[in-house]
């Protein structure tokens, strides 16, 4: 295919603009067929050496979810302890995960020991396997947003503890903990920007050598 229409290009740009990190979810269930449509886009993602190193764990049990939530709360308290003054006050009021409400929760790992791909492209930069997982997550995120779903990436976690709680192989490294569901509201501005935590750069800085 040589190219896409201007309408499609505009819609794609809108999709990227509305692909926000969601922390506030409704508790309504997500249709399983719809979820599987979104998850299938992992298989469309590029990966170094065609290694497809992504491994997805779906947290469905109360036990697994409770362990992950306790992990977040402990890590979040440690993070808060690292701030002081106005930043600490602002941080304490932030909602930084939707783990209590999101109907779907996924832990996405990279299998650093995978034999698939025979190490092509990862010999000098093994971290490219993890970059491949991030690319697959982006595919999933855009597919979910296009269908009205919201996704939130929770990074305030102890990966080693989560790995023990989920009994994953030691060779797997945590890339993302994703909350998925129907957002309470839609907004094309990042929540951290709305509350004054940080501002988005207006232009991309490109250096020339």
Measure CA 64 to chain center: 18
Q: According to the model, what pLDDT value does residue 15 have?
A: 96
Cα distance between residue 172 and residue 87, in whole Å: 34
* 66 falls within a domain: yes
* 10 falls within a domain: no
* 11 falls within a domain: no
- The CATH number that applies at residue 81 is 3.40.109.10
* 164 falls within a domain: yes
Cα distance between residue 54 and residue 135, in whole Å: 10
* 43 falls within a domain: yes
Our count of domains for the chain comes to: 1
Cα distance between residue 125 and residue 172, in whole Å: 17
Q: According to the model, what pLDDT value does residue 188 have?
A: 86
Q: According to the model, what pLDDT value does residue 95 have?
A: 93
Q: According to the model, what pLDDT value does residue 102 have?
A: 98
Can you give the three-state secondary structure of the chain, one letter per residue?
CCCCCHHHHHHHHHHHHHCCECCCECCCCCCHHHHHHHHHHHHHCCCHHHCCCEEEEECCCHHHHHHHHHHHHHHHHHHHHCCCHHHHHHHHCCCCCCCCCCCEEEEEEEECCCCCCCCCCCCCCCCHHHHHHHHHHHHHHHHHHHCCCEEEEECCCCHHHHHHHHCCCCCEEEEEEEEEECECCCCCCCHHHHCCCCCCCCCCCCCCC
Count of residues in the chain = 209
Contact between 109 and 57 (Cβ < 8 Å): yes
Cα distance between residue 82 and residue 73, in whole Å: 14
Cα distance between residue 132 and residue 139, in whole Å: 11
Q: According to the model, what pLDDT value does residue 84 have?
A: 96
* 183 falls within a domain: yes
Q: According to the model, what pLDDT value does residue 174 have?
A: 98
Q: According to the model, what pLDDT value does residue 1 have?
A: 66
Query: Could you list the residue range(s) of the whole structural domain that residue 71 is in?
Result: 21-187
Q: According to the model, what pLDDT value does residue 186 have?
A: 87
* 79 falls within a domain: yes
Contact between 180 and 150 (Cβ < 8 Å): yes
Mean pLDDT by 10 residues, the chain (209 residues): 89 94 96 98 97 98 98 97 95 95 98 95 95 98 98 98 98 98 91 87 93
In this structure, how many other beta carbons lie within 10 angstroms of the beta carbon of residue 106? Answer: 19
* 38 falls within a domain: yes
């Amino acid at each position: 295919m040589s190219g896409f229409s201007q309408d499609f290009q505009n819609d794609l740009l809108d999709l990227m603009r509305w692909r926000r990190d969601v922390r506030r979810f409704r508790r309504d269930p997500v249709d399983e067929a719809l979820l599987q449509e979104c998850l299938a886009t992992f298989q469309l993602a590029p990966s170094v050496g065609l290694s497809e190193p992504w491994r997805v764990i779906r947290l469905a049990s109360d036990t697994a979810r409770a362990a992950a939530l306790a992990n977040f709360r402990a890590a979040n308290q440690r993070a808060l302890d690292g701030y002081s003054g106005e930043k600490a006050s602002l941080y304490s009021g932030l909602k930084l995960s939707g783990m209590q409400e999101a109907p779907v929760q996924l832990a996405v790992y990279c299998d650093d020991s995978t034999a698939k791909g025979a190490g092509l492209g990862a010999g000098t930069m093994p971290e490219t396997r993890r970059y491949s997982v991030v690319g697959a997550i982006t595919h999933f995120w855009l597919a979910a947003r296009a269908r009205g779903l919201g996704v939130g990436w929770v990074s305030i976690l102890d990966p080693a503890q989560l790995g023990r709680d989920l009994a994953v192989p030691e060779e797997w490294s945590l890339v993302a903990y994703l909350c998925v569901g129907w957002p309470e509201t839609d907004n094309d501005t990042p929540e951290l920007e709305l509350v004054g935590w940080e501002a988005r750069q207006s232009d991309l800085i490109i250096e020339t050598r």
